[in-house]
Amino acid sequence: MDTFPFQIVGFDLDGTLVDSALDIGPAVNLALRAAGRAEVSLDDTRAMIGGGTRVTLERALKVTGGPLNAAAFEHYHTALLDHYTANITTKTRPYPGCIAALDALAERGCQLAVVTNKAEYLARLLLEELELTPRFASIVGGDTLGRERAKPAPDLIFETIARCGGGSFAMVGDSSFDVRAARSAGVPVAAFSFGYHDMPPADLGADVLLDHFDELVGALERIG
């Protein structure tokens, strides 16, 4: 087998490794109902995910009547988190082909990492409940280094590379947060056409756009 071009592959979590909108959506709608707002659809929820639960709730409030004062927002955000934490993997599952692709990368000597804007404790809880934690050499969240250093800043990528002991790195994600962070860090990036997009997938500007996990290993070999 030829030497694989990347020693570390970092993955976004929500909308990349796992389809978590099925559990985030009900938590968002619980908070909206408590605030006297209309619910949002699952498709709308998918478009709101990215940047962490606070950002998701802010987006949901914006389209259902506008922002709340700080105290009210914190109250309903806490309700969202309580519900989501208790139901974080009720319906959330890895995307088709994800596990096989992770296995294939590990077989090629890659260290795997999670680079997400989700709060680190939530990311770790989700991965632990899905029995995925042992696959990853590093797990960093949007609050690991402070929110001002979350994606699209490159800091989480640099931190991941350091935690993995250095080496060539590629980012895999689904949103502009992932692509912009990779560009700022000067590393290649692959994006999935599925997932949670804040712009049309073809406009993300990734080095390669993929429709299925089955395409990932070959694509990384091409861009490496």
Q: What angle do CA 174, 177, 181 make, to 5 degrees?
A: 110
CA pair distance 10, 113, nearest whole angstrom: 5
* Ramachandran region, residue 197 (left: φ > 0; alpha: ψ -120 to 50; beta: rest): beta
b/e per residue 209-222 (b: at least 16 CB within 10 A)? bbeebebbbebbee
Which amino acids are annotated catalytic?
12
CA pair distance 212, 75, nearest whole angstrom: 39
> Please, are residues 151 and 181 in contact by the beta-carbon 8 Å criterion?
yes
Question: In degrees rounded to 5, what are phi and psi of residue 189?
Answer: -145, 135
Question: In degrees rounded to 5, what are phi and psi of residue 104?
Answer: -65, -40
